[in-house]
Structures are given as structure tokens and as C-alpha cells.
């Protein structure tokens, strides 16, 4: 079993977390296969997916040796415990839920708490969050992240909501630890057509964009 530090390191080294939302749970295994083939091996399956914990367990069985599988949209302790039982390796909540931190850490798992303002971001950090999810990030943009990081450089920010192929690199250059990508990766068209080859290419493009931003 990977340690909390090893899981966190994988998320930051890769730099892109796929946020998986679909009303059709049968799509999750094939889309995860496409993401992994494209090199995107940080998979966040949200609780908005029907039967999310069963889906997580299936993804862990299929891809656990090649990918880091976590759960998003965690709002309660019960959800976190259920996801942990399903094999989730990291947890993400879009809101500030400090009481979830000790539950995740007791299991040796990293957790990302949601924030929107500098005060919330700092409170998430003080609560022990491994990462701070800036959500929705499109209202801040890379320029807003730079403003966050100037007085608060210790924050490990992961913007989600509004991250695109065009600005993912700019978020990284602004100081983000990684980016979370949902609807601009798992697009409506890709999901409607089950176009997994297009998803694989797009996943590879996101990884290449983040790597190029770091190299520069």
C-alpha cells in the first residue's frame, strides 16, 4: 500500500488530476482506460457518479496498479469512510470541511479541502489539508492564483473548474501544485460518442502542457 506522502507525490509529479463526472457509470472503466493510456493516471471519481463507491472499487481493481484512484465531491464523514472502504487513495471536497482531515490522515490518505477565498485557503491549510482545491478557479484565473501565492506561498493550490488546455500551463506557472480538469477533458461530445481515442489524445495533451510549463 502506498503511503500518504507517496500518493501526494504522485499527484504533484503528474500535475493533472482527471475529475470524472458522468451520469452513466458504465462509462467509467473505458474512459479510465483511455485516460491511463494517455498518461493521465490520477483519477478522481466524484460522488455525483451513480453508485460511486462500487465504481471506485471496480476502477481500483482494474487500474490500481497503474493509477492513483481517489474520490471527489466528498461532503460527509460517511462518504469518506465509504470511499475508503472502496479503496480510494485520496479525497477531495469542493467545500471547507476541516473535520474530514483527521479521518483521511488516520487512514494514511491525503485530502484536498475546497476554498474560494484566501481566508478559506489558509484555514484549509491550518486544518492540515494536503492540498487546497481552489474552486471554481475560472473566477480567479492564473492571475488570481499569483495573488494568492504572493502572501501565502506555502499553499499547495489545485485549481478546478475553468481549467482548460489553453490555461493549464499558466496555472502551473502561477504556482499551482497541480490542476484538476473535468468538463474540458471529459467533454460532452466525448461522453456522448464514447470517443475514447479522442479522450486519450486530450489526456496526453494536458500532461504535455503541464510538463512544458514546468520545464519553462
Mean pLDDT, range 61-88, rounded to an integer: 97
pLDDT in the model for residue 113: 98
Residue 1's pLDDT band, with cuts at 50, 70 and 90, is: confident
**191 found inside a domain:** yes
pLDDT in the model for residue 76: 98
pLDDT in the model for residue 51: 97
**Is residue 55 scored above 90 in pLDDT?**
yes
Residue indicated by cell numbers 473535468: 182
Distance (Å, whole) CA 186 – CA 180: 12
pLDDT in the model for residue 44: 98
pTM of the complete model beyond 0.85: yes
**186 found inside a domain:** yes
Distance (Å, whole) CA 67 – CA 5: 15
**165 found inside a domain:** yes
> Known catalytic residue: 133?
yes
Which ranges of 15-91 would DSSP assign to H, the alpha helix? 28-37, 52-63, 77-86
> Known catalytic residue: 81?
no
> Which one, of 189, 187, 169, 188, lies nearest residue 179 by Cα?
169
Of these residues, 6, 44, 89, 170, which one is catalytic?
44
Backbone angles phi, psi at 94, to 5 degrees: -80, -5
List Cβ neighbours of 82 (8 Å cut-off, separation of 6 or more).
Answer: 53
**8 found inside a domain:** yes
Distance (Å, whole) CA 4 – CA 93: 17
**140 found inside a domain:** yes
E strands, 122-199, where? 131-134, 157-159, 179-181
The CA-based diameter of the chain, rounded to the nearest angstrom, is: 45
**216 found inside a domain:** no
**Is residue 119 scored above 90 in pLDDT?**
yes
pLDDT, the chain, mean: 97
Domain that holds residue 199: 4-211
Structural domain count, the chain: 1
**Is residue 32 scored above 90 in pLDDT?**
yes
Of these residues, 81, 133, 143, 173, which one is catalytic?
133
Distance (Å, whole) CA 177 – CA 16: 9
CATH of the domain at 195: 3.20.20.70
Model confidence pLDDT, tens digit, residues 137-186: 999 999 999 998 899 999 999 999 999 999 999 999 999 999 999 999 99
Amino acid at each position: 500500500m502506498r503511503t500518504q506522502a507517496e500518493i501526494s507525490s504522485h499527484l504533484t509529479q503528474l500535475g493533472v488530476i482527471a475529475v470524472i463526472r458522468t451520469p452513466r457509470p458504465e462509462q467509467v472503466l473505458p474512459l479510465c482506460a483511455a485516460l491511463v493510456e494517455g498518461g493521465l493516471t490520477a483519477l478522481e471519481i466524484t460522488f455525483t457518479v451513480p453508485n460511486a463507491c462500487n465504481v471506485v472499487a471496480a476502477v481500483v481493481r482494474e487500474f490500481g496498479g497503474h493509477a492513483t484512484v481517489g474520490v471527489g465531491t466528498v461532503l460527509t464523514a460517511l462518504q469518506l469512510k465509504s470511499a475508503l472502504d472502496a479503496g480510494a487513495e485520496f479525497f477531495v471536497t469542493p467545500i471547507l470541511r476541516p473535520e474530514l482531515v483527521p479521518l483521511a490522515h488516520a487512514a494514511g490518505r491525503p485530502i484536498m479541502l475546497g476554498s474560494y477565498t484566501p481566508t478559506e485557503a489558509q484555514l484549509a491549510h491550518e486544518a492540515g489539508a494536503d492540498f487546497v482545491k481552489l474552486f471554481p478557479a475560472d473566477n480567479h484565473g492564473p492571475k488570481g492564483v499569483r495573488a494568492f501565492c504572493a502572501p501565502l506561498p506555502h499553499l499547495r493550490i489545485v485549481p478546478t473548474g475553468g481549467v482548460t488546455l489553453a490555461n493549464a500551463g499558466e496555472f502551473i506557472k502561477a504556482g499551482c501544485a497541480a490542476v484538476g480538469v473535468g468538463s474540458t477533458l471529459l467533454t460532452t461530445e466525448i461522453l456522448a460518442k464514447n470517443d475514447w481515442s479522442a479522450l486519450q489524445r486530450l489526456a496526453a495533451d494536458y500532461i504535455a502542457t503541464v510538463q512544458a510549463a514546468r520545464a519553462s
